[in-house]
Chain A
Amino acid sequence: MILTGFCSALAAGLLIMLLGYVIVQGWGAINPAFLTQLPRPVGVSGGGVANGIVGSAIVIGLATLMAIPIGGLTGVYLAVYGRGLGAEFIRFLAEVLGGVPSIAVGLFAYTILVQPFSHFSGFSAAFAFTVLMLPLMVRTSEEAIRAVPISIREGALALGLPDYGSIIHVVLPAARPLIITGLLLAIARITGETAPLLFTAFGSQFWEVNPGNPMAVLALQIFTYAISPYDDWHRQAWGGALILIFAVLVLNVAARLAVSRRTKKL
C-alpha cells in the first residue's frame, strides 16, 4: 500500500512541482510589456510575445470555425444514421485519426497547403489544428446526441416537427453542454500543440493578422526561445509557458464546469 501510495504521490507531486516551477520561472517575465510588445532582437532587453498571442487566437479561431461544422455534423450523422458497417468504419477512422502523431498531421497540411503555394501561412496551421480537433469533435458530438433520451426526439416528432427540425431545435440544444465540453477540450488540446506549426505557420517577428502569411504562434515562440542559447529568451520562454499553461487549465476547468452545471440542473 505504501508503494502504491508513493507512486500516486509521485505523479501528483511532479505535476505540482512542474506547475510551481513554471509559475516561479515565468512570473518574473510577465509584465504588461511582455503581453503587448513585439519580440526584440537578441541582446536587446524587453520585448514580448504579443504577436504570438494574437496569432494563436487567429489560428485557433480559424481551426475551431472549420472543425465545428465538419466534426459536429459528422457526429450528428453518426448518431442519427449510425448503424451498419459504414458507420462503424467511420468511427474506426475517427479513432485512427486520433492516434496520428501531430507532426504527421503537420506534414499533411504542408503538402496540401504550403507546398502548392510555396508559402507558409497561418491558414495551413489552422487546417492542421482542425484535423487534430476532428476526432474529439466527432466522438463527443455523437455521444452527446446519443445521451439525449430518444423520448425527447419522439416527442418533438409527435408534435409535428419535421425530421431536421426535431434534431436542430430540440435534440441539439439538449446535447449542447456535452458538445461544448468536447469543443473546449479540443481547443485545449490544440492550444498546446507545437509540432505542426514548425512548417505551417513557421513563425514571425512582426504583427500579422492575415492568415495567408506566416504567423507567430505562442507555442512555437516558446519552443524557438527555449532551444536558443540566450538567457533572456529562456526567460521569455518561461513567461510564454506560464501564459500557455494558464490558458489550457482555464479551458479544462471550463469544460468540466459545463458538464457539472448540466448535471446540477437535472
Chain B
Amino acid sequence: MSRGIDTPPAGLETVAVSRGRMTFGQALADRVFRFALRGATAVFVLIIADLFLQLVRGSWEAIVTFGPKFLITSEWNPVTGKFGALPFIYGTVVSSAIAIIVASAVGILAAVFLAEFAPPVIARPVSFLIELLAAIPSVVFGLWGLFVLAPILATTVDPFLQRAFGFLPIFSGAIYGVGLLTAGLLLALMIVPTVAAISRDLILAVPNELREASYALGATRWETVTRVVLPAARGGIIGACVLALGRALGETIAATMVIGNRPAISVSLFAPSYTLSSVIANEFTEATSSIYLSSLLALGLILFVISIVVNSSARVLMWSMLQRTRAR
C-alpha cells in the first residue's frame, strides 16, 4: 500500500523558484493544480451536503404539518391532504425482508459451492454469470418480473402456497400476481449477486490453515465448511447481507412494476402493496399541492436515512470482522 505523499512546506516553492529548481510558470501551475484538487473535493463534499439539506428543506412543510406521527399514520389521501408514511414503510420493509431472506439463503449456498466445491472450470464461468446478473438494469428486471414472474406466480406458485399453507394469514386473500411476494422474489433475484460475490470472496479469504486443521481433526468436507469456514467468515457475510438489504430497500423501478401500487397494509403476502420508492416514482409528477409534494419528499428523506443507517451498519459489521481476523 503506497503512502500518501507529503506536501512540501509552504515556503519551499518560493525557495525552489529562486534557486531555479522550479520556474515561475511551474510554481504557478503547481498552485493551480493543487487548487483544482482541493476545489474538486470541496465540490464533492458540497454536493453530498446539499443532497441532505435539500431533502430536509423540501420535506419541511410535511414535517411541521404532521410531525413524528407521519411515520405511524397509515392514511394517504391526496384529496383531503392527509398523508402518512406507514403503508410505504411496511411495504418496503416486508418486500426487502422477503428479498434478503431468500437472497441470503441462495447467495451464501451458491458462494459456498463456488468457493469450496466447484472445480475452476465451473467456478469461473458461473461466478462471471452471477456477477453479470448484477449489471442488468433494473427496468429490465421489472419488465421480466411483470410479464414473466408475476404470471407464473399467479398461475402456479401462489395457488399452491394457498392450498398448502392457506391457514396462515400471510397466504390468505385474493391472488393478483403482483404484490409483496412477487416484489420480494424479484428483489431477491436482483440482490443475490451482491450476497454471492462478496460471500465467495470472504470464504476464499479464510486462511487455509483453518481448513487443514479441521481435516486433520477428522472432519468431513461439509463439516469443515459449516463448522469452521462459515463461522470464520460470519461477520463479513452478515455484512454482505446487510449491504444487499440496503440495495433492496432503495430499489425503485423493478419494485414499482410488480408491487401493485396500493397504499394500504394487509397481512397477506399476495396483496398489492406500495414501497417508499414506488410511491415517489408513481406520484411525484402528479402531486398537485405543495403538502403532497412535501410529503413525497419526506418519504424520500426517510428512504435516505434508512439507507444510510443500513449501509453504515453493513460497513461496521464487515470492518469489525476484518479487525477480528487481524487480531488472530
A residues whose Cβ falls under 8 Å from a Cβ of B? 1, 3-12, 14-16, 18, 21-22, 69-74, 76-83, 87, 90, 93-105, 107-108, 110-112, 131, 134, 138, 146-150, 153, 160, 162-165, 167-168, 188, 191-195, 198-199, 202, 219, 222-223, 226-227, 234, 237-238, 241, 244-245, 248-249, 252
- Most chain B beta carbons < 10 A, residue from A9, A82, A164, A237: A164
Whether B139 lies near A219 (C-beta < 8 A) is yes
Q: How many A-B residue pairs have CB under 8 A?
A: 267
- Most chain B beta carbons < 10 A, residue from A80, A234, A249: A80
A146 to B296 Cα, complex, angstroms: 42
A66 to B264 Cα, complex, angstroms: 41
Interface size grouping (class) on chain B = 35 or more
28 contacts between A and B (CB under 8 A): A1-B222, A4-B110, A8-B110, A9-B126, A12-B133, A16-B129, A21-B148, A22-B143, A81-B5, A93-B44, A98-B311, A99-B310, A100-B51, A104-B55, A107-B300, A112-B54, A146-B2, A147-B2, A160-B21, A163-B7, A163-B33, A164-B29, A164-B32, A192-B138, A193-B137, A193-B138, A194-B137, A219-B137
B residues whose Cβ falls under 8 Å from a Cβ of A? 1-5, 7-8, 16, 21-22, 26-27, 29-30, 32-34, 36-41, 43-45, 47-48, 50-51, 54-55, 57-58, 105-107, 109-110, 112-114, 116-118, 126, 129-130, 132-133, 135-144, 146-148, 189, 192-193, 196, 221-222, 246, 249-253, 256-257, 277, 280-281, 284-285, 297, 300-301, 303-304, 307-308, 310-312, 315
Chain A residue nearest to B114 in the complex (CB): A8
Whether B130 lies near A1 (C-beta < 8 A) is no
Whether B58 lies near A107 (C-beta < 8 A) is yes
A195 to B58 Cα, complex, angstroms: 18
Q: A4-B113, A103-B252 are in contact. Are A97 and B48 (CB under 8 A)?
A: yes
Which of B55, B142, B285 interacts with A223 by CB under 8 Å? B142
A138 to B51 Cα, complex, angstroms: 17
